[in-house]
Amino acid sequence: MIPGPTPVPEKVLQAMSQHPIGHRSGEFQSIVERTNAQLKWLHQTNNEVLVITGSGTAAMEAGIINTLSQGDKIICGDNGKFGERWVKVAKAYGLDVITIKSEWGQPLDTNEFKSQLEEDKNKTIKAVIITHSETSTGVINDLETISKLVKAHGEAIMIADCVTSLGACNVPMDKWGIDVIASGSQKGYMMPPGLSFVAMSERAWTRYEKSNIAKYYLDLGPYKTTAKKNSNPFTPAVNLYFALEQSLSMMQSEGLESIFKRHSKHSAAAQSGMKAMGLKLFAAENHGSPAITSVEPENIDAELLRKEIKKRFNILLAGGQDHLKGKVFRIGHLGFVSDRDLLTAISAIESTLQSLGLLTTEMGQGFIAASKVLNE
């Protein structure tokens, strides 16, 4: 129950464990053709979705360095570890970064984006970068509103880290006018880590032509050219493609609406359960991510609790990152997670709190509250 790697269906593991085939074979091209179409479906876009063998960071970095040039002014939202990372990436490549910060646990303030963009009369801002679902804090940022503001600005492009939002909640790329979306396989995709994905709008591709940042493995031009031929510029992780085709087929069978509802229900159940057992949510009210619930158990060592739950129930929860270590724990409910998994996790937390003498509410309240949401 961590926010990645997420659980993987047996069918996907089986698909992955087939003997690899030549990445230049017709058989493999057929797989790429099918996954390319499936990826467009998942992103709700007509843009090509490119596949990189690498982590989500590789995809996000590719999105940034393929659309921008040294010295370009950009806005980067920073309200958690991943927001922080994109600031670092942007600075590593010599971009001129305006950081819009919120405290960890708080969402990005859309008004700050509004005023920065509106004040930029000379259209010097070339991009806005945000993390949609901030995995480190369990906060979902308002990508739809910020995308609209970016569109209204006219010059800037919208670059979004959708690593833990894609496949968990609605991210209609074309409808919202997002120019770059990056994601990773070990999240909503229900498969192991190793593949990452970048989708770019036509507008983003016009910026690609102007970009002066040096790159080779992460140069998306050859990925686009080869994607059109159902191929890849470099040897891809062939077995992860087998997994990708299987997992996306399962997602298509479930349907986007149904996937989003399931995640939203699990998120509501986890939040409700935690509150009912007297635990404080870390993410600001109404800004909890559908993928992950971050909990700040006051006067309780979160690491001790995590270890005890792992020991007694063999359920792994995520810990806090950086300054949140020991202060928060995080329940991942992203990807291949069922009502049973969610209810089991809530029950295990409540039972462990009781056994440690740390439960401040009547035993069973967390379980009852979570169950109620799941039954609605």
Residues that bind its own copies (CB under 8 A): 2, 4-5, 7-8, 13-14, 16-23, 25, 53-58, 61, 88-89, 92-94, 184, 186, 192-194, 213-219, 234-240, 316, 318
Report the distance separating Cα 158 and Cα 199, nearest Å: 12
Report the distance separating Cα 307 and Cα 313, nearest Å: 10
Cβ distance to its own copies smaller for residue 94 or 364 = 94
The least distance separating its own copies from the CB of residue 320, rounded to whole angstroms, comes to 12
Cβ distance to its own copies smaller for residue 154 or 216 = 216
Report the distance separating Cα 237 and Cα 239, nearest Å: 6
Cα-to-chain-centroid distance, residue 332? 11
Cβ distance to its own copies smaller for residue 94 or 278 = 94
Cβ distance to its own copies smaller for residue 150 or 218 = 218
Cβ distance to its own copies smaller for residue 45 or 232 = 232
Give the gyration radius of the chain's Cα atoms.
21
Torsion 212-166-344-285 (CA) sign: positive
The least distance separating its own copies from the CB of residue 299, rounded to whole angstroms, comes to 25
Report the distance separating Cα 42 and Cα 244, nearest Å: 12
Cβ distance to its own copies smaller for residue 40 or 307 = 307
Cβ distance to its own copies smaller for residue 186 or 352 = 186
The least distance separating its own copies from the CB of residue 341, rounded to whole angstroms, comes to 13
The least distance separating its own copies from the CB of residue 31, rounded to whole angstroms, comes to 13
Tokens of 168: 């968990």
Q: Could you tell me which residues are beta bridge partners of residue 96?
A: 73
Tell me how crowded residue 74 is: count the other CB atoms within 10 A of its CB. Answer: 24
The least distance separating its own copies from the CB of residue 125, rounded to whole angstroms, comes to 21
User: First and final CA of the chain: distance in angstroms?
Assistant: 23
How are beta strands 195-200 and 125-131 bridged, if at all? unpaired
The least distance separating its own copies from the CB of residue 51, rounded to whole angstroms, comes to 12
Spell out the alpha helix ranges (H) of the chain: 10-16, 26-43, 56-65, 81-92, 110-119, 143-153, 173-176, 202-210, 220-227, 238-254, 256-276, 302-313, 339-355, 365-375
The least distance separating its own copies from the CB of residue 25, rounded to whole angstroms, comes to 7
Residues 87, 78: contact at Cβ < 8 Å?
Answer: yes
Residues 225, 333: contact at Cβ < 8 Å?
Answer: no
In three-state secondary structure terms, 69 is coil
Residues 150, 128: contact at Cβ < 8 Å?
Answer: yes
Report the distance separating Cα 327 and Cα 321, nearest Å: 9
The least distance separating its own copies from the CB of residue 236, rounded to whole angstroms, comes to 7
Cβ distance to its own copies smaller for residue 168 or 268 = 168
The least distance separating its own copies from the CB of residue 232, rounded to whole angstroms, comes to 9
Cβ distance to its own copies smaller for residue 147 or 247 = 247
The least distance separating its own copies from the CB of residue 262, rounded to whole angstroms, comes to 20
Report the distance separating Cα 193 and Cα 183, nearest Å: 11
Cβ distance to its own copies smaller for residue 8 or 358 = 8
